[in-house]
């Protein structure tokens, strides 16, 4: 729901109410795949919209109950050197690494609004103890969690603790070709990662997923990964190659941006390793979103999200249509993991 009310207190103009309603309902209706469910679900959504439209605790108007994903890039450091990715080239110094307690406070403030907390990086498992603390806190707060990892640092101790929490683990794999692997990852650790994958599958079952990056370089690899996943019963998703500072080529077809897919990033709350808050990690594409909205080490997350610029950015993002809308974190959950 929009936080933008361009009206004087208690004097809504009918135009703004209609605009607000359509801005909420249209993208919602587009995401419903089964046509016969559109009317009943739009009806229910209208009731929800009406409640939040008139009952306004500040945060609930946009950040509805279980309506948002909190995405934490816990670090830019990485133990791998993937040629697709440039994140590892700019690791944060210790002085710019947020304390885990600051992130947990943010999670506690927002938990009623979250349908998921996602940890990415860099390599999140370089901070395994912090990751587990966050995972344990998420379970206490009843927020599902997902970690995206290169899979090289997973060990049984981690899996033992993580498997009890019922969260998802996504391992990134772009080829099953042992010869190609070192060129893709900058590390010759195919056997170690595949071994970790097997143990993870045993201990996490359906909570283990695989994600691949779709690019010119992986066009022939992805079908093999999909076949492997089907064979061993692991759900899989591909996301298109983007400019993360790597040196891969784009695959032409991914830039045929489908206009019917709406970017849901406006419902995301993204945190950088130093605590800076943005609405999506591609915010540099949107002029008024280039500067972070605030920093959770210095300020509580709720006032940060209630800033006028935050609501203005969310509004612009409703119709934002760059290729980054196809990244997993910016797509509706229903379109992920086959």
Ligand X SMILES: C[S@@+](CC[C@H](N)C(=O)[O-])C[C@H]1O[C@@H](n2cnc3c(N)ncnc32)[C@H](O)[C@@H]1O
**Contact between 244 and ligand X per CB under 6 A:** yes
Say if residue 203 is preceded by a cis peptide, omega within 30 of 0. Answer: no
Q: Select the span of 77-85, 94-102, 107-115, 297-305 touching ligand SF4 (CB under 6 A).
A: 77-85
Return the number of the residue (117 or 278) whose C-beta is nearest ligand SF4.
278
**Residue of 110, 159, 213, 265 that binds ligand X (CB under 6 A):** 213
Near ligand SF4 by CB under 6 A: residue from 3, 70, 78, 229: 78
Shortest Å distance, C-beta 181 to ligand X: 13
Q: Shortest Cβ distance from residue 84 to ligand SF4 (Å)?
A: 6
Among 286, 302, 306, 335, binds ligand SF4 (CB under 6 A): 286
Q: Give the separation between CA 255 and CA 162, rounded to whole angstroms.
A: 37
Distance of alpha carbon 16 from its chain centroid, rounded? 30
Are the C-beta atoms of residues 87 and 76 closer than 8 Å to each other?
Answer: yes
Start-to-end CA distance of the chain, whole Å, equals: 29
Asked if residue 211 binds ligand X (CB under 6 A), the reply is yes
Question: Which of the stretches 39-47, 117-125, 134-142, 285-293 binds ligand X when contact is defined by CB under 6 A?
Answer: 117-125
324 near ligand SF4 (CB under 6 A) = yes
* Region of 11-19, 63-71, 76-84, 154-162 interacting with ligand SF4 (CB under 6 A): 76-84
Which one of 72, 76, 121, 294 is in contact with ligand X (CB under 6 A)?
Answer: 121
Question: How far from chain centre, in Å, is Cα 160?
Answer: 25
Residue pair 283/289 in contact (Cβ under 8 Å)? The answer is: yes
Of the candidates 264, 243, 283, which has an alpha carbon nearest to the alpha carbon of residue 328? 264
Site for ligand X contains 326 (CB under 6 A): no
> Which long-range contacts (C-beta less than 8 Å, at least 24 apart) are formed by 247-250?
247/83, 247/84, 248/83, 248/84, 248/213, 248/215, 248/216, 248/217, 249/215, 249/216, 249/217, 250/215, 250/216
71 is a site residue for ligand SF4 (CB under 6 A):
no
Give the max Cα distance, the chain: 67
Of 120 and 330, the one with the shorter C-beta distance to ligand X is 120
Q: Which is nearer to ligand X, 1 or 280 (CB)?
A: 280
Q: Using alpha carbons, select from 67, 60, 53 the residue that is nearest to residue 20.
A: 53
CB of 50 to ligand SF4, least distance (A): 27
Mark residues 246-265: x for contact with ligand X by CB under 6 A, - for none: x-------------------
> Token pair 């794999």 is at which residue?
173
Given a contact cutoff of 8 angstroms between Cβ atoms, the answer to whether 150 and 78 are in contact is yes
Q: How far is the CB of 168 from ligand SF4 (least distance, A)?
A: 17
Reading the block at residue 203, the tokens are 């201990």
Angle at 270 between CA 268 and CA 275, to 5 degrees: 155
Cα–Cα distance measured from residue 270 to residue 217, given in angstroms and rounded to the nearest whole number: 29
- 302 scored as a contact of ligand SF4 (CB under 6 A): no
Quick check: 197 binds ligand X (CB under 6 A)? no
- The option from ligand SF4, ligand X, none interacting with 239 (CB < 5 to 8 A, set by class) reads ligand X
Task: Give contact residues for ligand SF4 (rule: CB under 6 A).
Answer: 78, 80-82, 85, 87-88, 121-123, 150, 263, 265, 280, 282, 285-286, 317, 320, 322, 324-325, 330
Task: Give contact residues for ligand X (rule: CB under 6 A).
Answer: 78, 84-85, 87, 120-121, 123, 148-150, 172, 211, 213, 239, 241-242, 244, 246
């Amino acid at each position: 729901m929009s936080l933008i009310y361009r009206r004087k207190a208690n004097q809504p103009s009918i135009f703004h109410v209609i605009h607000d309603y359509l801005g909420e309902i249209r993208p919602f209706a587009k995401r419903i795949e089964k046509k016969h469910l559109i009317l009943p679900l739009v009806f229910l959504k209208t009731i929800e919209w009406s409640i939040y439209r008139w009952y306004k605790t500040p945060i609930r108007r946009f950040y509805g109950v279980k309506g948002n994903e909190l995405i934490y890039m816990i670090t830019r450091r990485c133990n791998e050197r993937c040629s697709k990715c440039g994140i590892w080239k700019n690791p944060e110094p210790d002085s710019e690494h947020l304390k885990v307690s600051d992130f947990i406070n943010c999670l506690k403030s927002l938990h009623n609004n979250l349908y998921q907390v996602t940890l990415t990086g860099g390599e999140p498992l370089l901070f395994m103890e912090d990751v587990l603390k966050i995972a344990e806190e998420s379970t206490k707060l009843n927020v599902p969690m997902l970690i995206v990892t290169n899979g090289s640092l997973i060990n049984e101790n981690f899996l033992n603790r993580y498997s009890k929490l019922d969260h998802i683990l996504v391992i990134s794999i772009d080829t099953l070709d042992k010869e190609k692997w070192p060129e893709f990852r900058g590390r010759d650790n195919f056997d170690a990662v595949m071994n970790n994958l097997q143990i993870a599958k045993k201990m996490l079952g359906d909570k283990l997923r695989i994600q691949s990056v779709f690019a010119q370089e992986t066009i022939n690899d992805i079908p093999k990964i999909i076949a492997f996943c089907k064979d061993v019963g692991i759900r899989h998703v591909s996301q298109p190659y983007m400019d993360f500072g790597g040196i891969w080529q784009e695959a032409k077809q991914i830039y045929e941006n489908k206009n019917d897919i709406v970017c849901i990033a406006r419902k995301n709350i993204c945190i950088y390793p130093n605590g800076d808050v943005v609405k999506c990690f591609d915010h540099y594409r949107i002029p008024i979103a280039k500067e972070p909205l605030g920093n959770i080490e210095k300020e509580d997350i709720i006032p940060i999200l209630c800033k006028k610029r935050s609501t203005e950015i969310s509004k612009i993002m409703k119709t934002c249509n760059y290729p980054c809308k196809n990244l997993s974190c910016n797509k509706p959950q229903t379109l992920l993991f086959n």
